[in-house]
Structure 1
Amino acid sequence: MRVRDSVVVVTGASSGIGRATALACASAGAAVVLAARRADALAEVARECEAAGGQALAVPTDVTDADAVQALARRAVERFGRIDAWVNCAAVTAFAPFLEIPLEEFRRIIDVDVMGYVHGARAALPYLRDQGKGVLINVSSVVAVVPQPYTHAYSMAKAAVRVLSASLRQELRLDGAKGVKVCTVMPPTIDTPFFDHTANYTGRKAKAMPPVYSAERVARTIVDLIRVPRREVMVGPMARNLLMQSKFAPGLAERMMGSQVDKMHLYRTKPAPATSGNLFEPAPGTGSVSGGWHGRRQTALRRVASTAALLTGGMVAARRWGR
């Protein structure tokens, strides 16, 4: 499908991957419909998209509200006549020991990161099916394959998103809706404001765990999927390596992920107060694509290379011994 002159709805468009995706689609000549909770941030993104050469419509939306997401789809069709692609990208998270995160906040993460995608799919698919074509893109994560400690609800949610996509593909195929495609994108750590907005009950400040990829890289992947849909796409070599390691040495991959998160996802010397982050109220300001994480860790690539070598060696050993 051509991106130019297509109509693309993006949830979570106020910052990070969602914002980068909206800008990439607009730069390619698409009309973008922007959804997030922050009206001021969406207005800024809409201006940037129009400056990039696309048309833009900002629709403040909380994806946990099914009626609001249905209204988002209607606004898109009323303004632009159709929906060609829908990108589910809104997400929140929390870092916390399992027994210390408030249950209300655990449920909120599931509500945003799973039910928000369910609401988006239920809003988009009737239009795509009626047209006989279109693309639904769900942004999952590498933690859907190799989960992390301290982010239980987020890891669970991203695994659920991957399963949702697979189930929808099967159902659409059985129903003969061959022109409607469902894609899953699984990025590793991305340079966004996500880690500054997280809920946190670990007592340690969260940070982006290297290697850190740009949000624009994920956005380019999403634009490519609009053009040529694929079932699942891992973003970057680290995500692909983790997928392979999880297949051949799952126990080792699990142990190494736990160790890396403890050492490199949470500062040891920077305490952080308990906070619910942006779970219930959006972060202030007009948002941004980047979180400023590139360049903060000059030794990151060397440390990751060492870790990859350990994992690869362990994978070979596991295969040799049939484990």
Structure 2
Amino acid sequence: MTSTTRASDEPLRVVITGASSGIGQATAELFARRGAHLVLAARNVEALEDVATRCRSAGATATVVRTDVTDSGDTRALADAAASTMGGVDVWISNVGVGAIGRYLDTPMETHDHVVRSNLIGHMNDAHAALPVMLAQGRGTFVNMISLGGFAAAPYAVAYSASKFGLRGFSEALRAELVDHPDVHVCDVYPGFVDTAGLLHGANFVGRRISSPPPVLDPWRVAAAIVRLADRPKPTTIVGSTARVTRLLHAISPALTGRVMSRFLDAYFDRADRVPMSHGNVFEPSLDAAVVEGGLRSPRKRAAAGLVAASVVASGATAGLRLAKRRGAVATR
């Protein structure tokens, strides 16, 4: 019978999809410092090789596998490569994510389709490939990178919202199916806005420069939260105050949260610089990968986004007070 426990002195066997930049790259490098055996996957092999070189320098073994997670054949081949190279999989981090910013009707339907395929079907393909390995060995941790988008819808990112809401539901349903396998874990990670190049790399159909409002998380902080799940798996990990507040506000009033988000984005795009529209990395991998941080925490960008955010928060607070007064008036009738 296969043992369901791992000796503490054995290196972790870790698969990371979306490992060519951002949170995926940072997570790979943190696991590397622990001497893990790594299998790194993404569409950009050249960037993966750069990341693998850094991981090997930190003390890990690292194998690169070109993988498009929207192709279930690719994810099965990735699982086979991991099992044959490392003898099993202790942790699989499903980290692929792309986005398209633009009004729903201004964004091509094929772009919406591919965002959903990457962010939802891609994670389902990962799980379908990884879980048989984990069930056969009697243990393992599967980590879904979601985001605050799993709690609250984002205007101008309809497909992204659909994919993240769907991914949260997928994880919850999958955990329920695995209740009789207590050593096989499905974990979700919900960070707020993170300082990676993801927004800049995504599709842009508003024709305006895109950034994130403060506070913007350090991607190394998110990566550290993921690494901790290897030792102490838990169903839900929320990283950053923005994600916590967003979850709370959406629970109180989804409609109000959506209106505040829409006001914020309208105000931001009115002030943002014009840039060409593009499909970004939705269909083809980014060329400037193998970079963890996106430069979104610079003082100038924080000040500009913060000014817009402050005005919108004030509007949202006023609207919230009006809503509360209306509800109070109805309750006393």
- State the TM-score, normalized to the length of structure 1: 0.92
| Alignment check: 8 A CA contact 2:193 2:242 kept | no
Measured at CA, do residues 303 and 203 of structure 1 come closer, stay the same or move farther in structure 2, by a change above 3 Å?
closer
Displacement of 1:313: 7.6
In 2, Cα distance between equivalents of 1:263 and 1:29: 47
1:222 to 226, 231, 243: 226
Aligned residue runs from structure 1 range 198-277, under 5 A: 198-264=202-268, 266=269, 268-277=271-280
Displacement of 1:28: 2.3
Displacement of 1:268: 2.6
Answering whether residue 293 of structure 2 is matched by residue 290 of structure 1, we say yes
| Alignment check: 8 A CA contact 1:148 1:261 kept | no
Tell me which amino acid in the other structure corresponds to 2:169.
V
Measured at CA, do residues 5 and 301 of structure 1 come closer, stay the same or move farther in structure 2, by a change above 3 Å?
farther
| Alignment check: 8 A CA contact 1:206 1:267 kept | no
The DSSP-based 3-state class of the residue aligned with 1:206 is: coil
Displacement of 1:261: 2.6
Answering whether residue 137 of structure 2 is matched by residue 136 of structure 1, we say no
In 2, Cα distance between equivalents of 1:140 and 1:41: 23
Answering whether residue 168 of structure 2 is matched by residue 168 of structure 1, we say no
Displacement of 1:210: 2.4
In 2, Cα distance between equivalents of 1:40 and 1:153: 29
2:194 to 173, 190, 194: 190
In 1, Cα distance between equivalents of 2:308 and 2:205: 27
In 1, Cα distance between equivalents of 2:177 and 2:104: 35
The DSSP-based 3-state class of the residue aligned with 1:288 is: coil
- CA deviations on 1:87-135 (whole Å, 9 max, x unpaired) are 1111111111111211111111111111110110000000111111111
Total equivalences in the alignment = 320
In 1, Cα distance between equivalents of 2:151 and 2:9: 30
The DSSP-based 3-state class of the residue aligned with 1:99 is: helix
| Alignment check: 8 A CA contact 2:20 2:41 kept | yes
Tell me which amino acid in the other structure corresponds to 1:256.
V
Answering whether residue 19 of structure 2 is matched by residue 16 of structure 1, we say no
| Alignment check: 8 A CA contact 2:260 2:315 kept | no
| Alignment check: 8 A CA contact 1:14 1:36 kept | yes
Displacement of 1:227: 1.2
Measured at CA, do residues 280 and 55 of structure 1 come closer, stay the same or move farther in structure 2, by a change above 3 Å?
same
- State the TM-score, normalized to the length of structure 2: 0.89
Displacement of 1:170: 0.2
Aligned to 2:3: none
Tell me which amino acid in the other structure corresponds to 1:219.
A
Tell me which amino acid in the other structure corresponds to 2:132.
P
In 2, Cα distance between equivalents of 1:205 and 1:224: 35
1:99 to 102, 105, 108: 105
In 2, Cα distance between equivalents of 1:57 and 1:27: 16
Displacement of 1:232: 1.2
In 2, Cα distance between equivalents of 1:77 and 1:223: 20
Displacement of 1:78: 0.8
Aligned to 1:120: 126
Displacement of 1:230: 1.2
* Greater Cα shift, 204-213 or 179-188: 204-213
The DSSP-based 3-state class of the residue aligned with 2:187 is: strand
1:179 to 183, 208, 211: 183
- Percent of pairs identical after alignment? 37
The DSSP-based 3-state class of the residue aligned with 2:301 is: coil
Aligned to 1:29: 35
| Alignment check: 8 A CA contact 1:4 1:29 kept | no
| Alignment check: 8 A CA contact 1:248 1:315 kept | no
